[in-house]
Structure 1
């Protein structure tokens, strides 16, 4: 029995249609699909980071899982109390509630495909991160939006210690 209905359509996002949000240096988010575009099924972005650059401070998501597929380079992850390095072709899946952080590994760049499910409208969050990276907004201004974007920041001394070196 098919579950396809005539009203169902596929989402197609050609590369040239993806919104690009510049980050520090040559880093960037490529916004591919937000929760609204997928009826809340998932959200997808591609994140390119320069050598050793941070991707996200320690945080957790209360309502969604997050998948990272390393397209190129090497990424460093904090997963709870564990530090993990993942090379191109590797996959990381973070369940709801698990504090995590990520970035390009020291002396490496990385290119990540990031999928969050279920999807929420988080493109506004990524745009704000771009403004923060560009100096047009402060990180403190983002803190009241943690519930809206389901990004709850936590302090982690392990991540701070390895990323500061």
Structure 2
């Protein structure tokens, strides 16, 4: 018996999704952006240098975000506290769950981030890279521009 549509496998070779700088202390690889998965999920490989900030506490209203630690130690903000996670550890942050991450360790950490459903999160990372490449951060934006930036990407920053 033959399958009715043999073109239902989408292979993305390593060269198609290179590791790109995401600022002075991090890099990322858009392994399977939402555009490729038809919005089902998004998968990102993320790396953060030792003793470096990552994402400040925030939440998303329309998608969950999961973290799977590959190497090093990733400190994740969850349940109101920062906790270290090691290779093999997994954290699922449901919609509206406040979370953040950073690398408090002495070596680079690498981890996977899974977004579900697969909104076009790659646009958020591209805009952040543009800001950083111009020597700016969201803090340098006007309050109105910063609010619009985060709203465009379903990211609500939280003071903790």
TM-superposed deviation, 1:106: 3.5
Deviation per CA, 1:63-107, whole angstroms, max 9, x where unpaired? 111111111100001013122110112111111101110011243
TM-superposed deviation, 1:123: 0.9
Q: Which moved more, 1:104-113 or 1:62-71?
A: 104-113
**3-state secondary structure, aligned to 1:38:** coil
Structure 1 unaligned residues grouped into runs of 5+: 157-165
Aligned-partner Cα distance in 2 for 1:9–1:132: 37
| 1:146 equivalent in alignment to 2:145 | no
**3-state secondary structure, aligned to 1:63:** coil
TM-superposed deviation, 1:7: 7.2
TM-superposed deviation, 1:5: 5.6
**Structure 1 residue aligned with 2:10:** 11
Deviation per CA, 1:4-56, whole angstroms, max 9, x where unpaired? 86276223221111143313446211112222211110011111110021221
1:44/1:113 contact within 8 Å kept = yes
Aligned-partner Cα distance in 1 for 2:108–2:60: 25
**3-state secondary structure, aligned to 2:58:** strand
**Structure 2 residue aligned with 1:133:** 132
TM-score, normalisation: structure 1: 0.82
Q: What is the total number of aligned residue pairs between the two structures?
A: 153
Structure 2 unaligned residues grouped into runs of 5+: none
1:61/1:151 contact within 8 Å kept = yes
Aligned-partner Cα distance in 2 for 1:8–1:81: 45
Aligned-partner Cα distance in 2 for 1:154–1:10: 39
**Structure 2 residue aligned with 1:39:** 38
Deviation per CA, 1:104-137, whole angstroms, max 9, x where unpaired? 1243321011110011011111012223333444
Aligned-partner Cα distance in 1 for 2:132–2:147: 15
Which runs of structure 2 are paired with 1:94-133 in the superposition (5 Å)?
94-133=93-132
Which runs of structure 2 are paired with 1:56-95 in the superposition (5 Å)?
56-95=55-94
